[in-house]
Structure 1
Amino acid sequence: MRIPADFKKKFQNLMVRSEYDEFISALSGERITGIRINRLKVNLSEWSSMSPFRIEPVPWADGGYYFDEQERPGIHPYYHAGLYYIQEPSAMFPSGLLEAGSDDRVLDLCAAPGGKTVGLAMDMRNKGFILSNDVNPKRIKALIKNIELLGICNAVVTNESPERLASVYEGFFNKIMLDMPCSGEGMFRKDPEACKSWNRYKTEEMQGMQRKIFDSAYRMLAPGGMIVYSTCTFSPEENEQNVSWILKNYPDLYLKDINKTGGIEPGRPDWSDGNTELLKTARLWPHKIKGEGHFAALFAKQGIYKGNDLTDCPHKEPPVKSFLEFCEGMLHTIPSGVYVMRGAELHMPPCGYVDHPDIKTVKTGLYLGCETHGKFEPSQSFAMALEWSSIKRKESFSVNDGDLIRYLKGETLPRFGEKGYIALGVESYPVGWGKIEENGLKNLYPKGWRRTR
């Protein structure tokens, strides 16, 4: 990897020589990779006994583990069961700072591809309300897939500009995750293109964009609420200098001290205006911790938070008859919650969510399926959100079963008997649906999710 000369010159001027040498040497090393265990599906003690990978915990992330790339967790059947999310270890840090709970209204404003939403949903135990937004329509598909793969039910996904959301949700959220678009210097080892696209003017361009996005986020923050500002870059302009600017321009915001562990260091006041409050921010350096690098600041807004009434669930509708008939045949109990029909589609939005027609909403909580010719067709997201014990008609493969791999590749399986839907899983964790027909099991595993090798 060729590190840009202007980047090296910049940090040579900022750091003492010994630290600069360590920093540049770390950037030239091997990238660090990790997985985050999905605590909505499996607890950590269970994972420690069933893990097919080495277990080396990430010190700042509950359920975070390092792995060797040759272990290839992205093709393991447990990935298809949504038992973990592949995530760079430094990126696991910011979402936990919000300490999101089951009665919170949470906004993940720049959410794709979904790692922060995943961490928040696990902390919230799939309750409360998350609005997961990204302005880029091309990145929304990955965001939705990751939410559905991990069985997340409490997230609404929107594809809007921060300004547009702020016009609708002013003062609405008590916790906001703001993982900013940035110059991506912490991606140098992970993505060579980030290194090639870097230029000395990029940090200034990003700084202006970040301040504009922050203003929209601030407008949506309730009194007494908290907002995490984070980046995956090293630039002082996008980190300490932006934090100083925020403190000066939003006098009702103040910094909360972030606990530093596992080699995490405080921010550098001397790289900004010298304000010692910047010591409360956190820097994850690749030469100090085992990770690619990150920055985080935790702001709180003055005032008293009055709490959220998440018991109010507007637009309640009874579920369609075909859905009840499907549940009677397939499940031991009918899922509890709010049901909303959109055309032929049945959704279960999280309580606390209010539909706004002017906002481009692409996912409304849990999509259960659709009604076709009076029959209910279950969705993949419905399968991934179910507990294995709640399903009547099912078949679980062992992790090494050849039929499991054939199913994940979209092949037809030789299964006969009573016709109809059947849930398929691995080691008693759902992976999807099949439908037994005269010629065998019709494979309903989504084409975009299938294994290619």
Structure 2
Amino acid sequence: MTDVKMLPKDFLAGMKELLGKEYDQYIKSYEEEWKPGLRVNTLKLSPEEFLEFSPWKLSPVPWTKNGFYYDSQDRPSRHPAYFAGLYYLQEPSAMTPAAMLPVEPGDKVLDVCAAPGGKSTELAAKLKGEGLLVSNDISYSRARALLKNLELTGAANIAVVSEDPEKLAEVWPEFFDKILVDAPCSGEGMFRRDDDMVKDWTSRGPEYYSPIQRRILEQAVAMLKPGGMLLYSTCTFSRLEDEDNVNFLLESHPEMELVPFNLASVPGSADGIGLNGCMRLFPHRMKGEGHFLALLRKKSEGSKKIPTPVGHPAKPGERHPNRAESRKIQGKKSSASEDTGLRELEAFLRSCRISWEKERMFIHQEHVYYLPCGLETGLPLRFLRTGLLIGELKKGRFEPSQALAMALRIEKYPVVLNLSEEDERVARYLKGETISLLPEEGPIKGWCLVAYRGFPLGWAKGNNMTLKNKYYPGWRLQ
């Protein structure tokens, strides 16, 4: 916990002016333990199903039906259910932005500042595998962590990008139905639990971040369809970064209008300060840290004329979404080694109980992708992932990916080793060790999907009564 005495005097003076009579309660909240949370991944199971076998004492987060508080002494990041992607560890107040953006299956959704992925994983769950989720972070290293969390969740209809929002707006004008801007900020709402945020504030406070936030918001407006909705959020208390930015957007973009929140949906929340209809979360009013939210809609009429998109549907031989040569599975001459790998790939795809659309399947640098509906090819952007990575063609062989394992349901693949919670082989598999089969389980030849309580963990390669471990090395239990 952060010591109040370490907080900058200018920050404390600003909070006293902002909160008035509630200031002393806010200061007292620094004496309380912050409550960690987890959010159940509804792409895989319902909150009720998760609670049936959860080993921890959980209590509900009031503002999202799949969010729960857990005791700080518990270690859910070490549990097999975490590796099966059944939940995401997230600070409870940070669950509100994705919860309050009304995403529907089939929407085209953009998360502009998405890393490390807490909000994107919930947006993916709300899409239920339909539509398109573009998750962006300007930092390539942070975007890699974002990709891992989306793949762990089992999200397939995704594109992960690392670009400046201005570049995105050139490619996708008036393209998205819903946009989330959880902007980089001075982090005042996280001071209670993160000393580093306090240190950063002294060198880069609200005056530094406000212009950055306004530029991102302007680009987001350009990418929003008429009738679409934009949710702006920060984890800071500064009016300069919060209500002032919303006012700026409303004044500079008359096509945008504020959609007032129902504050009763988030018990303990407060209205905007100087701008009614926004939402503020304070740690002295609820079990969570500080957050600000504003929901805006682009009016259907009066939208500014925007240039046509840069991208266009690619023809065979044109450029793939990540600017490199690609080919469809069929229709191109290849070597004998490649032919063997392609035959293995097609046999594998046939074995899955899935109706694949072949026109959405692309191969790039021996990686096989299944592109989401609505994602055009030939876009000049830096992609880390375009859709679902099916697998890789290696030296004339096909090897399915970790991402595919996480996106599958066990009934969709014919060969499954489903391990119980008591089975010590679960931990051994997650550590990358070879697994032995019991007499009633084998023999197994070829690819086997290893699962925990019916939820996939990853792949193994069967050789009669043993399984060679193919769990992704970068994800292994340490």
Same fold (TM over 0.5): yes
Q: Does 1:302 align with 2:305?
A: no
Q: Secondary structure at the match of 1:152?
A: coil
Listed one character per residue, the Cα deviations across residues 240-271 of structure 1 (whole Å, up to 9, x for unaligned) are 111111111111111001121311111111xx
TM-score norm. by structure 1 comes to 0.92
Compared CA separation, residues 314 and 106, structure 1 to 2 (3 A) = farther
Q: Does 1:340 align with 2:362?
A: yes
1:161-240 correspondence to structure 2 within 5 Å: 161-199=164-202, 202-240=205-243
Q: Does 1:371 align with 2:393?
A: yes
Say whether the 8 Å CA contact 2:137–2:163 is kept in structure 1.
Answer: yes
Point out where structure 1 has 5 or more consecutive residues left out of the alignment.
270-277, 307-311
Q: Does 1:287 align with 2:284?
A: yes
TM-superposed CA distance for 1:172, in Å, is 1.0
TM-superposed CA distance for 1:196, in Å, is 2.0
Q: Which residue matches 1:268?
A: 273
Aligned residues: 437
TM-superposed CA distance for 1:33, in Å, is 1.0
1:75-154 correspondence to structure 2 within 5 Å: 75-154=78-157
Q: What is the CA–CA distance in structure 2 between the aligned matches of 1:63 and 1:448, rounded to whole Å?
A: 28
TM-superposed CA distance for 1:335, in Å, is 4.2
Listed one character per residue, the Cα deviations across residues 296-346 of structure 1 (whole Å, up to 9, x for unaligned) are 00011111699xxxxx997694574322212345x3445457212213111
Listed one character per residue, the Cα deviations across residues 150-192 of structure 1 (whole Å, up to 9, x for unaligned) are 1001110111001111111111112110000000112223322
Q: Secondary structure at the match of 2:202?
A: coil
Q: What is the CA–CA distance in structure 1 between the aligned matches of 2:285 and 2:446, rounded to whole Å?
A: 56
Percentage of identical aligned residues: 40
Q: Secondary structure at the match of 1:235?
A: coil
Q: What is the CA–CA distance in structure 2 between the aligned matches of 1:321 and 1:351, rounded to whole Å?
A: 25
Q: What is the CA–CA distance in structure 2 between the aligned matches of 1:305 and 1:33, rounded to whole Å?
A: 44
TM-superposed CA distance for 1:357, in Å, is 3.8
Counterpart AA for 1:396:
N
Q: Aligned to 2:426, which of 391, 404, 410? A: 404
433-442 vs 88-97, which moves further = 433-442
Q: Does 1:390 align with 2:412?
A: yes
Compared CA separation, residues 257 and 31, structure 1 to 2 (3 A) = same
Compared CA separation, residues 265 and 340, structure 1 to 2 (3 A) = same
370-379 vs 106-115, which moves further = 370-379
Q: What is the CA–CA distance in structure 1 between the aligned matches of 2:204 and 2:74, rounded to whole Å?
A: 39
Q: What is the CA–CA distance in structure 2 between the aligned matches of 1:439 and 1:42, rounded to whole Å?
A: 31
TM-superposed CA distance for 1:201, in Å, is 5.6
Q: Which residue matches 1:326?
A: 348
Counterpart AA for 1:410:
G
Q: Which residue matches 2:57?
A: 54
Q: Aligned to 2:16, which of 12, 16, 35? A: 12
Compared CA separation, residues 284 and 23, structure 1 to 2 (3 A) = same
Q: What is the CA–CA distance in structure 2 between the aligned matches of 1:418 and 1:57, rounded to whole Å?
A: 42
Counterpart AA for 2:18:
L
Q: Which residue matches 2:468?
A: 442
Q: What is the CA–CA distance in structure 1 between the aligned matches of 2:33 and 2:199, rounded to whole Å?
A: 17
Compared CA separation, residues 44 and 314, structure 1 to 2 (3 A) = farther
Point out where structure 2 has 5 or more consecutive residues left out of the alignment.
304-311, 317-327, 331-341
154-163 vs 197-206, which moves further = 197-206
Q: What is the CA–CA distance in structure 2 between the aligned matches of 1:336 and 1:64, rounded to whole Å?
A: 35
Q: Secondary structure at the match of 2:134?
A: strand
Moved over 6 A (4+): 312-316
Q: Which residue matches 1:3?
A: 7
Compared CA separation, residues 392 and 294, structure 1 to 2 (3 A) = same
Q: Secondary structure at the match of 2:373?
A: coil
TM-superposed CA distance for 1:53, in Å, is 1.9
TM-superposed CA distance for 1:417, in Å, is 3.0
Say whether the 8 Å CA contact 1:388–1:430 is kept in structure 2.
Answer: yes
Say whether the 8 Å CA contact 1:27–1:188 is kept in structure 2.
Answer: no
Say whether the 8 Å CA contact 2:280–2:290 is kept in structure 1.
Answer: yes
TM-superposed CA distance for 1:419, in Å, is 2.7
Counterpart AA for 1:87:
Q
